[in-house]
Amino acid sequence: MEYDIAAYIWPSYTGDEKRSLQFWPEGYGEWQTVKAAAAKYPGHQWPRKPLWGYVNEADPYVMEMEIEAAVDHGVNVFIYDWYWYDNRPFLEQCLDNGFLGAKNNGKMKFYLMWANHNAVSLWDKRISSTDGSTVIWDAAICRSEFEKISRRHIEKYFKLPNYYRIAGKPVFMIYDTPNFIRGIGGVKAAREALDWFRSEAVSAGLGGLHLQMTMWSEKSLNVSGVDGGKSIDAYGLITALGFDSITHYQFVHFADIDRSYPDILKDVDAEWKKLEARAGVPYFPHVSLGWDNNPRFSALRAGVVKDNTPENIEQALRMAKAYTGAHPDQAPLITINSWNEWTETSYLEPDDLYGYGYLEAVRRVFRGP
């Protein structure tokens, strides 16, 4: 069986985005935060260094190297976090210049996750510990703005031959569904906007869309006080908005992660079974490599995954493989957090702690020894 192993890309490791200088003024993106990270307590596994160096991932030559490493180890899809703030894209250079500029990008598929969460001062380590929630840009947008970005996606990305499709339809993920609803004006208006998006994709000859919702915890996705004061839960949102599938972005969204990785996997297994029984649409299993966002803060932040060794990650990957094998009627898609979330300590890229250990775990599980 062939698997689609899709790793999220956090496109901040470049200085090509001028608006990023307000967060990382040294001019090479969030590598600035990674380089400054230090241990916060005895046994804390920081600092870590990337074996490939603090490279510019908007450089096509860099991405050619990374694509080769990805496909050689079984990662054949990148999910690009895609941002739209203040009526224009943000951090799009890693996709446009890096990945799409790489001569070998045809070896991989890609698709977009609209990371429509508000941009806050969390990204600026100078103030994150005392003022990490101040909104810099509000990501909630109105219907006309949504139509603008939708047409842009269709023309710029969805028609590309290596854009990832399920049942022939381009896949588009929405990260923050409640924020989407807030901006668009309620659940009914959100459904109408998504139906319009589908029809535009049909008119463009794409056969429609496969709309994917990012699952958090059930409580986090509840929407209250909209459409005449009605409330709706996470499962209701899937149906009401007509999503075709769901997956996760991070274990931290639904599990207590301040413990050993094998213990976390017990909750992960239970979550997958619950979603299988209740979601009403395909769930694509997700594996997070870890969680520790202390690099973004000067003071200690509680909540650090322990024992996320390559061997324990391999256990999670085998769980995902077994889940996929038990659902032959759905696409063989597995999502991983992530390719390069260094400041959240959840990445496949090789480092000076485990080397290529995480990538080798992927290859063992999905490519064999």
pLDDT band at 218 (very low <50, low <70, confident <90, very high): confident
Mean predicted confidence (pLDDT) in 180-200 = 97
Nearest to 342 by CA among 117, 29, 21, 124: 29
Tell me what pLDDT residue 130 has: 84
Give pLDDT, residue 228.
64
The pLDDT assigned to 301 comes to 93
Q: What is the per-residue pLDDT for 247? A: 98
CATH number at residue 131: 3.20.20.80
Tally of CA atoms within 13 A in the half-sphere of 36 that contains its CB: 17
When divided into structural domains, the chain yields a total of 1
* Mean per-residue pLDDT, 51-70: 98
What mean pLDDT do residues 108-117 have? Answer: 98
CB count within 10 Å of CB 34 equals: 23
Q: Residues with Cβ < 8 Å from 43, sequence gap 6 or more?
A: none
Say yes or no to pLDDT of 225 above 60: no
pTM for the predicted model, two decimal places: 0.97
Mean pLDDT computed over 188-215 = 98
pLDDT at 270: 97
Q: Mean pLDDT, to the nearest integer, of 314-319? A: 98
Q: Which domain holds residue 100?
A: 4-367
- Residue 41 — pLDDT band, cuts 50, 70, 90? very high
pLDDT for the residue 217: 84
